[in-house]
Structure 1
Amino acid sequence: MDPADDPQPAAAAVAGRMAAAAAAWLDALDPQQRDLAQRPGPRAGTAAERERLRWHYVPTDHGGLPLGRQRPLQQSLAMELVATGLSTAGYVTVCTVIGLENVLDRAEGFPRGGGRERFRDPGLYYLRVFGEPGGTAPWGWRFGGHHVSLNDLVVDGRVRAVTPCFLGANPASAPLLGGGSLRPLGGTEDLARDLVRSLPPDLRARAVLLDRAPSDIVSGNRPRLPTGTEVAPGPDGGRLPLTELPLGLPAGELDATGRELLRSLLAAHLDRAPAGVVPPVDADTLHLAWAGSTEPGQPHYFRLQGHRLLIEWDDTQQGGNHAHSVWRDPEADFGLDALAEHRAAHHPG
């Protein structure tokens, strides 16, 4: 394709930077490290593809080469690859979330156990490349650890998927000197709360579905979201299930102030990715759902849902000081739609 005719030139430019960074990182590894760092590219039904669709947001082995088993230069090259898949604000937020492992370690009394020397460990963030960066075949990469999961796929020289994209924070708020506080996801939380509290009573009653929030995001770490008549029950006995048809208040009923807040809230999630990579989402087609208290510092949950979009947030654990936030595309998570198109075009039959 002529670059001048590319409808998403940013997606191609970012893919090029990703490929260069991934190749540089892989070339810097020794053979044992590379055995952990790289798997075959996406192909339906293979063990490597099942591994690519596996993701977590808890402190477990996410698959790949952890930062703690890399030399400083290798770590820097790894983070250079991670940075290619994020905006500046997204990268700063991811780095802050990783650093919170040190804060959490102290808050929990520097615990031992869990089968490793250090339980809360900023070195336990794993990077893995699937396929050959920059080649003609689809390839991708995953970076994950406690409260971080980034999943990117490149097909036909363009970034075609950046979801599931998970960020969390524990603690969600921590004190800083001078009376300040560290809140990596605080701006997002404040936008959502301001939006719900701005609603007139009749609309707020339709947006706030429950007075008690579910204990976690409802979608969990499922590789695929419900379709058709499927239902994903909530973590508290299905009180707030996840269905293909959205629950809550249609955004089209918001006034001008509400719509502006909603657009800002949507941008706080989509702007994790580099500019121009993600297709635009019409905020007016979304539904807003809330559960729990609307008072700051109290456990709560919200959801934005519409065509090709699911955003979930919960801040319920540790008395409302432990946040989870996930952004997903029900049709394009892990680039499964782009891979199907690629196979149909290049490998028919």
Structure 2
Amino acid sequence: MSLAAEMANAADSWLRSLTADQRAAAAYPGPGAGDRERTTWYYTPTDHGGLTLNEQRPGQQQLAMRLLAAGLSLEGYALAAIVMSLENVQDRLESWTRDWGRERGRDPGAYYFRVFGSPGDATWGWRCGGHHISVNYTIVDGRVASCTPCFIGALPAELSLLAGETLRPLGDLEVIARELARDLDQRGQAVVLHRSAISDIVSGNRARVLDGDEMIHMQDLWRGSFTDERLSSLLDQIDAVGEEGSGYGSGDHRVLAITSRPKGVPGSALTPDGQARLLALVEAYLRRFPGEIAGPWLASYRTGSGVADLHFAYAGEPSADRGPVYYRLQDERLLVEYDNTQTNANHAHSVVRDLTADFGMDALAEHRRTYHAAGQQ
């Protein structure tokens, strides 16, 4: 069974399990009519749009999680499940005080599922979103046209466990990058864009990444705007702390802006050891997707010119083993961003974007052209 068919079966089973009222929240017009909502995504603890796990019976929750699992590898699904469960841990670390304007602020049940269009139609899609998770899929003519944006974060990014163990949900994504940045900096290669790490990913929750995009501030990463003065003030404080920690002003943000011509050092300029590290990084990100997606994408980095055109750029102190850090990987198609700066550098974000296919926009446009041409014949 193809991945698109597996997703269609999972989405259909979930939708069929819902009541009429639940379906009203879960189902949305398909690509085209529903694009404004479909391409509106978040990674903050805000309303992501759809039906939450809290609003579902256990059996329905299982079917929703089955849909999420269809869009991730086993490792990626395990990571998403851990991220959801960390809401309980963060609740305790914050002494149960954060509410974000709802009954419970740190809520493992506040993950929203929504299907766009009818599963199995020529064009349809689905989304799972909540704090630190946003998985977005677009299916066109029976194939997966887009698996991005795909955001997975972790709060805390590192947590002490019993018997001297440590939980790091995002694994060595930070360690490998620090090692690579340190080596390049010592060699005098211009990998460091700024000696202070920026306070968030730069692409933010944009529907499409464009040349010159700068970091979106915290207040703009929420659905709607806060009317509660206390909550608005809290967001201002969090944003200010992040900015003070990075020391960034408007000029600094321009330095870190995303450009169509990738910044940093290309893989072609790396030593064999550096190229191996760069390949390890890109593999770690792409392996969050099912094999049908990850396999061909990774093959493009293992054959031919390999990682030669993949650029690595860094912000932070490259000699430091800990502390605030930001980096990106970018080539003509792939954009990866990682930051760990907030909450005393124990709050990590990671995102995978496909600069050629986010939300399947190009595939949808081609489908419409083909459809209209066929209708005119």
Question: TM-score, normalized by length of structure 2?
Answer: 0.85
Name the residue aligned to 1:27.
Answer: 16
Name the residue aligned to 1:310.
Answer: 335
Name the residue aligned to 1:297.
Answer: 322
Query: Partner letter of residue 342 of structure 2?
Result: Q
Find 1:111's aligned residue among 70, 75, 97.
Answer: 97
Structure 2 alignment gaps of length 5 or more: 217-247, 302-306
Name the residue aligned to 1:58.
Answer: 44
| 1:71 matches 2:73 | no
Take 1:49 and 1:122, find their aligned partners in 2: how far apart are those partners? 27
Contact 1:111–1:118 (CA under 8 A) maintained in structure 2:
no
Find 2:312's aligned residue among 264, 288, 292.
Answer: 288
After the TM superposition, which segments of 4 or more aligned residues of structure 1 sit over 3 Å from their partners?
none
Query: Partner letter of residue 232 of structure 1?
Result: D
The alignment of Structure 1 onto Structure 2 pairs a total of residues equal to: 330
Take 1:284 and 1:95, find their aligned partners in 2: how far apart are those partners? 34
| 1:221 matches 2:245 | no
Q: How far off is 1:112 after superposition?
A: 5.2
Name the residue aligned to 2:82.
Answer: 96
Name the residue aligned to 1:267.
Answer: 283
> Per residue, is there more helix in 1 or in 2?
2
Q: How far off is 1:297 after superposition?
A: 2.4
Query: Partner letter of residue 4 of structure 2?
Result: A
Name the residue aligned to 1:4.
Answer: none
3-state secondary structure, aligned to 2:190: helix
Name the residue aligned to 1:196.
Answer: 181
Query: Partner letter of residue 194 of structure 2?
Result: L
Query: Partner letter of residue 119 of structure 1?
Result: G
| 1:210 matches 2:206 | no
Instruction: String of CA shifts for 1:64-91, please: whole Å, max 9, x gaps.
Output: 0000110000000000000000001000
Contact 2:184–2:190 (CA under 8 A) maintained in structure 1:
no
Structure 1 alignment gaps of length 5 or more: 1-11
Q: Report the RMSD for the aligned CA atoms in angstroms.
A: 1.4
Contact 1:172–1:186 (CA under 8 A) maintained in structure 2:
no
Take 1:186 and 1:197, find their aligned partners in 2: how far apart are those partners? 19
Q: How far off is 1:200 after superposition?
A: 6.3
Contact 1:39–1:128 (CA under 8 A) maintained in structure 2:
yes
| 1:18 matches 2:46 | no
Take 1:296 and 1:322, find their aligned partners in 2: how far apart are those partners? 16
Name the residue aligned to 2:221.
Answer: none
Take 2:195 and 2:102, find their aligned partners in 1: how far apart are those partners? 40
Query: Partner letter of residue 51 of structure 1?
Result: E
